[in-house]
Amino acid sequence: MIKAQGLALRFFYGETGMEYNAIVAAPFGPLGVACEAGAVTRFEFLPQGTAPRPSAPGSLAWEAARQVQAYCADPAFVFDLPYRLQGTPHQLRVWEQIAAIPLGEVLRYQDIAVRLASSARAVGGACGRNPLPLIIPCHRVVASGGLGGFNQSTGDETLNIKRWLLRHERG
């Protein structure tokens, strides 16, 4: 975990030693793409200033980067990538609900909690651990009284990404 100005920035760096197959320059900031065994396994928001890193043309990471750029140009773009999610049964159920939220709409953590006979806090925890934001659009889940958190944080760095994504999708 890295600390800057007293704030834990683990949410940017993810697991210790995370390797990215590509780093995409996106309007909201750099995005790390991790692939394993023919599937995309992680998109991770990286610190501003992280240098883009292309991957080999024709590789899965190259295609994932191309699709991220297509989404950034057109919010109606639909991702078509092989991906693998690893999580608890509860997290997988939450991610399935999030994936079904239509473009331009939002649900509250509580809405999903009611559907799953869970709690809003547990839904928020699953949202924060979503390994594939953009594909599983957890930015479309908000708190009852406002924006809520994003990517296991309520800091400006991540909330600015959430705001950008919501504005982008609402046109």
Report the DSSP beta bridge partners of residue 30. 25
Q: Is residue 138 among the annotated active site residues? A: yes
- Indicate the angle between helix axes 89-99 and 120-128, nearest 10 degrees: 80
Among residues 35, 72, 127, 138, the one annotated as catalytic is 138
Distances (CA, A) of 124 to 22, 39, 95, 120: 28, 25, 11, 6
Which residue type sits at 109? Y
| Helix or strand run (H / E) with residue 24 | strand 22-26
In the structure encoding, which two tokens stand for residue 32, read together?
A: 């790390």
Distance (Å, rounded) from C-alpha 101 to C-alpha 67? 19
Distance (Å, rounded) from C-alpha 1 to C-alpha 121? 23
Active site residues: 138
